[in-house]
Each structure stands twice: as C-alpha cells, then as structure tokens.
Structure 1
C-alpha cells in the first residue's frame, strides 16, 4: 500500500511516494528541474499562476511513479503541503481569476495596518493571535479595494494547497489550520472571525467548506485521476501549510519542540500548549496540525523572507558558472567567523514581519575592495541569514519559548556547516538533521489521516538522524553583536 505526498512550494513542486508497510520513501521527484518563476509586476509584488502549480503536480506525479516503478492502483491516499499565506480566487466555474498573490508579496502591508486599527490590537491578538499584517485576509482586502470589478466575480478564495486539492477533487475546501494562517480564524470563539470579515466587508460565502486537517477531504475525480495517472476515488486525506507540515515531518507535535527550515524563506517553528501572541506581531501563531479546542497546539512561527533566495542571488551574482553550492561552502569555510568585517543584511525579499513589516532591502556593509573576495561574500551571506534566525529566535524567547534543540530536514540551508554552526553556537542549542522532506511528511500525514498509522509518532517513526551540529567555540557572539548594531542603525533611521 502506497501514499503520495506533495510539497507545493514557490520554487518547485515535489512529489514523494511512501511505502506504507516499511514507512520508507520509495522515490521523489520535483518539477520544474530549475525553479518556478515569481512575477513582480510592481516593486513589492510577488505572483504565481496557480495553473502552473497544477501542471507541475501532474509532471512530478508521473515522474515519481515512473521512478518507483510501482502499481499506481496501490496508491491509497494523498497528502498536500503548500506554501503558506497565498491567495487564490476562483469564479463560479472554479476558474482562476488572477495570478495568486503569494507569501512574499508586500502590497497588503498598509491594508493590514488599517484593518488592525479598525478591529483593534487587543481584539486581534486575543481572538486571532495575530494582527492582520500581510496575510491572506489582507491580500483579499487589497483586491477588494484595488480590483473591485474582479472582486465581484469571486466565488471562493483559497490557499495554494486548497487550490491543488480542488483540482484533484472538484471541491473547494479548506481547514481550520489554513484559515488560521490567513488570519480568518477566531481562536476564542472557535469560528470564522466575524470581526475580521465585518471589517473587510467580506461575505462568509467566499470561504470554502471546512474539512479536517487529517481525514477524508474529497475523492480524486475521474478527470484528475487520468491526468495524474492515479486511481479514481482515492482520498485527499491531509493538508497543511509548509511550516506546520515541516514540523510534522520532523516529529514536532508537542509543547517545547522546535523545527526549523532554510528554504527560499527561513523559518523557526515552535509548539506551545496554550494560545500565545506577540503584541508586536514579529512572530505569529497558528493552529498546528494536531490542534484541537480540547488540547490546544499552537505553532509559533518566525519567518525570514530573505533566506535561501538571498544565497541563491549571491551565487548568481558572484559565483562562476562551474561553482556550485558545495564549492561555495568550501570557500566560505576558509574565511574566519565574522567574514573579516563584511556584513550582509538579507532583507531583500519583501516586508519582514519580525522587523515590523518593514521592507529594508538587502545591504552589504563594510566592503573592502582590496581585501574581500567571493569567499568573504559567501560566508557573510550565510552568517547574515543565520544572524537573522537568531534575531528572531530572541523574540520567540521573549514569549517563553524554550530553544534547547532544533530539528531540521536535510534539503535546505542547514546542509551548510557554516550556517548551522553559526546558529547552534549563538543559541547554544544543538541542531539535529533528520532524513526527511516535506513531501514525504505529507504522504505520512495522509496515511495517518486514513487510519493506516494509529498515531502521529508512529507515522514519522521511519526517519533517522543524519548528523548533529553542536555549539562551537569562536567569535560568533562578537560578530552577531556587530551585525545587530548595523541593523539597529538602519531600523532607527
């Protein structure tokens, strides 16, 4: 018996096939082979075509089935992980009305601020655990205010994973976890947020039917099954945003457990057993995958937009054609901690929530033309991202989050020794690298949702720890403090 999981990212779409009996990954595939384009028609805008996601789902599905060389009729369930906070809008024919406004788009920051003033900070925090900020609800309000004729055609709104599930099942649905990441969910009253819907002027009919995070969410239609090469009627049985799903993949379910990832954006995600909010909205709280009203599980999320995308930019600008990331790592390792005074502030991918939604742009400071070579820029870039992680983790500690150990996957920036050692040394917390991916986590979520595994712990029992980064000796604190001083100068201008 097999289960297939998808990771709908902004860089690519991954598919992984799980053997339910052995709890092992049989194959993984992603499409496109390079990276998906992000359109930016105006400064601060970031959009993608949802129909392109679906095409990539089709391609990656057929590729992973071919690589595994299994009987597709034995695939019994589907799980979906997806990029959070995006907005997809469809008409009554379930056709996409405009490109999706994705997670790193900054256009709705002012809209969110206006909504916060209208709703009130106390009510927003106590009911939704967050300010409207730059989340999905604010993006929809931006469309209502700036594209009113298009807004009138909206039948349902969805998150990216909701859209992919709709293409599979023909049904527009969502989850409480998804609604909470869009700031639509009222944790105090355990219902769709009436204060937010009223402030935005939204009719509740635009919200899709709520289905459980785990369990039957809709059956694969004949048309979708033919396109995917999968059996008609199998269930979509799990759906979650990429960071809650990453935490599931790493076995992070309970209070005090911490997950992290360093993909296009960087995230630290910790679990609390009680509702918690940051009054300054620098970090945000959402319903975790195993959240219930009787047994709350709140995921506290720190997000740094300028993470892997910043390092990719450095590679494109400074690395020669034959230099890969392994080569860059080897070069960076030759440079001492602190990068000989070169500092990189990696905030060039839109408004940063932990910086009060300021869009600073990236900065390179202290450049010396006669001393700094490409290897200095490579190390300074990795250190700058790591320093950003630590800056946000200090905010999480203000909310009584204990950071004693981090668990990470093996397919992102944490593969870098320079990057991981910097975070471990500054936080004093060892970092465990686990052999897993978001797509295989989604497959395991589907298996649990259909009752194949009896507990979440059983579902993730097939993973192994590949390595552990321990705190190191060195001038890490000195370099970090110098970096913080430069950031403070810019923030206080």
Structure 2
C-alpha cells in the first residue's frame, strides 16, 4: 500500500494522518502531545511558542504512526500550520527567539499606525487588509525592540515554513504565506515595496517562493532517519490552517464556506474577486486554488477565543472532560437562564477591529447559576461571536448557503451544532476529515499523484447534515439580539475609557 502523509501544526498539538492513495481512506491518525501545548505569555497580550517544540511533537506523532502502518510506503508530505506566526532564523537555520504566534497582540498599535500613515485606501486596495497584527507588523516590532537580534536574522518564516525547513533543509514560502503575512501587493502582484519601505524591512529576509501545490523540497537523510520515512520524498503542499481546512472540506469555489471551532473559531468563504472589508474585521487572503487566470480568495472571519475557552473551563472550573461538559450544557435550556459569556479572551480580536476586549461572564445569579449554565453560555457565546462576524461576511458580499466543517472540536457538541445552525441560518455539513488529512490529500495533488483536487477527495465521508428551522431561528435570533446588545455596550464602555469616544 502507498500513502500520503499530512501534518497539521497547530498551537495546541501537532496532528499527523496517513491517507491511502488507492482508496482515499485515512488509515492512521495521531496527535502529540496528549495534552495541549502551552502558550507562553511573558506580558499581557503576548503569545509565544518554541518552534523546536513543534518539531519534537511532530517527531512523536510520526513515531506513533509507525505502529499503525509502514511509513516507508509514504510518497509525499503535505503541511498545514497555524497562520500569521513569526519565526526568525539565522544563516545556520537556528531559531533566534520564540515564535510570536497568531494570537499575540503586541504589534496591534504598529499595524494601526501603518494603516493610518500608509493610508486606508492604499492598504485596502493593495494589501486587502490593514497591516494589523499580522506577520509583517510583528517583524517591525522585533526590529524596534530587539535590534541586535533583528540584525542576525537571515530569513523570517511562518510556522509551516519552519517545519518545511526542518524536513527539507530549505527556507522558502508560498504565495498564500506572503498573503497571510500581509506582504503581498495584489495590484502589483509582487511583494509590497511600500510596506517594506515603511517598516524599514529588507526584502531579502523573505525566503524564496515555491508553489502551493508542487515540489517545495525533498526530505533530507537526517530527517528521514529521525522520522522513519523514505529519503528524498517531496514536500509537495503547504498552506495555513484555515485555507487548508477549506481544502480539506472540498471548499474550492466561490460561494462555498468552511468552519472550524478548535482553539479559535473560523468561517472561511471562497470568492472569485479580491474583496476588502473597509474596517479590516474580515481578512482576505489568497486561497490555495488561486490561479492568475482563475482567481480564488479566502474571506476569513476569525474568533480567537473558542476551544481555548472550553479548555480553560475544563482546566479551571471543575476539570471535567469535554463530553461531560457537553452533557451538562445540554441539561440547560437555550439562553442559559440569562447568563451571558463573551469569549474574547485570547488576544486582540480582528472582528472587533483589533480590540483587546478580554472574556466576560455577565449576569451571574449566585442562587440559580451552576457550572452547567456556564458551559451552556460558553457554547452559545462562541456561536454568537461567529454569527456577529458572519453578518459582516454577508455585508461585504459573501453569499453562503452551506457551511462545511469537520466532525471535531466544538462541532462534536450537539448544543454547539444546534446554536451554530439556527443562528447563522445556514445548512451545516459535517465530514469525517481534519486538517492533517486535507494536507495529505493536497500533497497527492502537488506530487502529481492525483490529477486534480476533486480527485483527491475519494474516500471522504459526510457524517451529518443539519438544517435550520423557523422556530429555532426565531428563538436564537432573540437570544443573539440580547447578546449583541450587551457586546456593543461593552465595546462602547471600552472606547469611552480609552478616549476613542469624546
């Protein structure tokens, strides 16, 4: 049997999956570590991880696969990874500092100032986004605050670029990578000279481009021996976790959308034109199936605080397992008896215009509310936050009727599925797949094993399909309206206290 190997390098774990080429079935799947990887926060709003930890967990996950299949039959490797991170390496490919990851907020003010001084019209027309809290702004922070370290940088990499470097020994990136880092000028179709000049960043720090689908390097002998894989097999696909999740769910064309609810929660819609949200609450990136003659863009709505909220509750409330938390939540009626939870406690939220609102649990009645009420309010709060962003997606022209998701993370909860479906009003399709499987299938496309993306999806199974109903939509519309009203009040108070309103 011949296989394709996919890795999904997240902030909580590294997943690995083997897909059998002949049948398209996932024959083995593992993840490491058994508990979530820690995120370091040396200061409020910061979020860092050690890239070496990602590599070690990738090794552990691969060795677990060895117990389930013959890895010498692997023909190609695909990589999915947490987006927007910054990894700095020197000329010997040694990491110079902990990675500044996606939910780190230290560069918010740098990006906001760039948005104003480069000009909002320029940024939205050329970059499709505010420079915001993305990779380019994080590198500018390093240049300002760690100049001696900055002087030693040979290349700046995204997390997936780093993993590919460890596999192949080569530093490179992709067009989707330049797009998600807010390096790419969509008008000029090249790296933005204006942004580089404004941030005083040398373009040579950006690694060379390789195709999204196609040979990106070959497995070195050293890495092959460590991982138990054949020497010289290609790394033939790389993409950020959200474009890759969309690919994993066969979301390839305009009007199709994918959702996730892991550490963060996302709705990702594909469009055939470059759309920009004037307030940069929704972000636009190059989708994996983009071609100059057939453009494809991903409109990304991200809520930073989702599964991480559930994890926090499990760890600090009563240390319950997720299944038990879901059962308790199901014992409480919709609305959680008036308890409201706002899940914005994992860094600055793009959908809130990069405000650092933090999480809020409101209207607690000490005589009525229990842990079960909190678990219910948390799931409703995440779904309502997605609804808040989903409405913005619709306003900027995304027309979505069906949303696809993997049967994983918060979508394992019947309560969350119900609230999500009834609140958005979209049909929800759930599939037996994940990011690692998607990366494996895509590697087959990049290696020429599959003739097209469509061919790579044989063997993928739909698990469930949920439809909204009129009664449910009306019930949750009223609950969402109450939640939204309180959210807007919180934002108003924050703006008043920060001097944004006079």
Determine if the alignment matches structure 1 residue 444 to structure 2 residue 441: yes
C-alpha distance after superposition, 1:19-76 (max 9, x if no partner): 10111111011111111110000000000000111111111111112222x2x22211
Following superposition of structure 1 onto structure 2, how do residues 7-86 of structure 1 map, counting pairs within 5 Å?
Answer: 7-68=8-69, 70=70, 72-86=71-85
Equivalent position of 1:392 in the other structure: 389
- CA shift for structure 1 position 403: 2.2
Determine if the alignment matches structure 1 residue 211 to structure 2 residue 210: yes
- CA shift for structure 1 position 102: 0.2
Structure 1, unaligned stretches of length 5 or more? none
Equivalent position of 2:231 in the other structure: 232
Kept in 1, the 8 Å contact 2:23–2:458? The answer is no
Kept in 2, the 8 Å contact 1:260–1:408? The answer is yes
- CA shift for structure 1 position 317: 2.4
Kept in 2, the 8 Å contact 1:267–1:302? The answer is yes
Aligned mates of 1:330, 1:36 — CA distance in 2: 26
Equivalent position of 1:259 in the other structure: 258
C-alpha distance after superposition, 1:66-92 (max 9, x if no partner): 222x2x222110000000000000001
Aligned mates of 1:15, 1:315 — CA distance in 2: 25
- CA shift for structure 1 position 302: 0.3
Equivalent position of 2:125 in the other structure: 126
- CA shift for structure 1 position 240: 0.1
Aligned mates of 1:128, 1:413 — CA distance in 2: 32
Kept in 2, the 8 Å contact 1:118–1:199? The answer is no
Following superposition of structure 1 onto structure 2, how do residues 372-383 of structure 1 map, counting pairs within 5 Å?
Answer: 372-383=369-380
Aligned mates of 1:75, 1:258 — CA distance in 2: 31
- CA shift for structure 1 position 457: 1.0
Equivalent position of 1:417 in the other structure: 414
C-alpha distance after superposition, 1:433-478 (max 9, x if no partner): 0010100100001001011111111112321110112214342111
C-alpha distance after superposition, 1:79-114 (max 9, x if no partner): 000000000000011100000000000000001011
**What is the total number of aligned residue pairs between the two structures?**
489
Determine if the alignment matches structure 1 residue 339 to structure 2 residue 332: no
Aligned mates of 1:462, 1:130 — CA distance in 2: 37
Secondary structure at 1:67 match in 2: coil
Aligned mates of 2:112, 2:160 — CA distance in 1: 26
Equivalent position of 1:427 in the other structure: 424
Equivalent position of 1:146 in the other structure: 145
Normalised TM-score (structure 1) = 0.98
Secondary structure at 2:225 match in 1: helix
Aligned mates of 1:460, 1:86 — CA distance in 2: 29
Please identify runs of 4+ aligned residues in structure 1 that moved more than 3 A. Answer: none
C-alpha distance after superposition, 1:356-414 (max 9, x if no partner): 10011110111000000111111000000000000000000001111211100011111
C-alpha distance after superposition, 1:119-141 (max 9, x if no partner): 11111111111110000000000
Kept in 2, the 8 Å contact 1:432–1:465? The answer is yes
Aligned mates of 1:188, 1:295 — CA distance in 2: 16
Aligned mates of 1:354, 1:312 — CA distance in 2: 22
Aligned mates of 2:365, 2:468 — CA distance in 1: 30
Secondary structure at 2:170 match in 1: coil
